[in-house]
Amino acid sequence: MLEIKNLAVSYGAISALHGISLSVQAGNIVTLIGSNGAGKTTTLKTISGLLKPKSGEIFYDGKNIAGLPPHEIVARGLSHVPEGRMIFSNLTVLENLHMGAYLVRDKKIVRRELEFVFATFPRLKEREQQIAGTLSGGEQQMLAIGRALMSQPKFLMLDEPSLGLAPLLVKTIFEKIVEINRERSLTILLVEQNANRALEISHFGYVLETGKITLSGDSASLRQNPQVKSAYLGG
């Protein structure tokens, strides 16, 4: 569904990605793990059009989307839940969710997607008129994911969904990611520092180190890899 070929990205004179290649099969959860500064967030931002690649190709459904503006990429079915959630803190929960559906013209579809989000995250239904900035960190993460789902994506990118959350909420968020993947056959690319959790729920994984893919394989094998254990799993 997604194939990246020799993608290079720079911030001015500083090179962030050094010609990485990876692929994501339809219906799978694929995780990208690595330490801070490895280039994980840069990868997602480049796929979603927030950064322009220096070189390389990004194929989505067989078409090269590298360098397209973000709104065109969203319209093609890719949604991005950014690191730090980036909700509209002065709007209500409901208004945030409607912002996620700004490209959807059919009100029946908007209502249907809203029902799905509320069924997935009942806490959001309870707080639909609450100002989003007053939600807890876990509720804001639910809202960020819910807002992305409102655009009817076929491909969802999640950047550090467990960041700053209490362990119980981390468990809940990861369970919801699996549920969304299963119920919607939604393809997911997950960037996550909690490598153990990410490899538990994903089908396939890539290890990114200083802008280069150093390891890849099915997630079960990566969890048993001594190098991965030592560097990311505390083994």
Q: What pLDDT is stored for residue 235 in this prediction? A: 56
Q: What is the pLDDT of residue 104?
A: 78
What's the order of all strands across the beta sheet hosting 187-191?
Answer: 78-81, 155-159, 187-191, 29-33, 204-209, 212-218
pLDDT at 48: 94
Can you give the pLDDT at residue 232?
82
**In the prediction, which pLDDT does 212 show?**
94
Return the CATH fold of 1-77+155-235.
Answer: Rossmann fold (3.40.50)
For the entire predicted model, the pTM comes to: 0.91
Domain boundaries, the chain: 1-77+155-235, 86-152
Whole-number pLDDT of residue 193: 84
pLDDT beneath 50: ranges in the chain: none
Buried b (16+ CB within 10 A) or exposed e, 202-219: bbbbbbbeebebebbeeb
- How does DSSP classify residue 215? E
pLDDT value of position 37: 84
Q: Are 60 and 155 in contact (CB under 8 A)?
A: yes
| Residues 6+ positions from 33 with CB-CB distance below 8 Å | 40, 191, 192, 193, 195, 198, 199, 205, 206, 207, 208, 228, 232
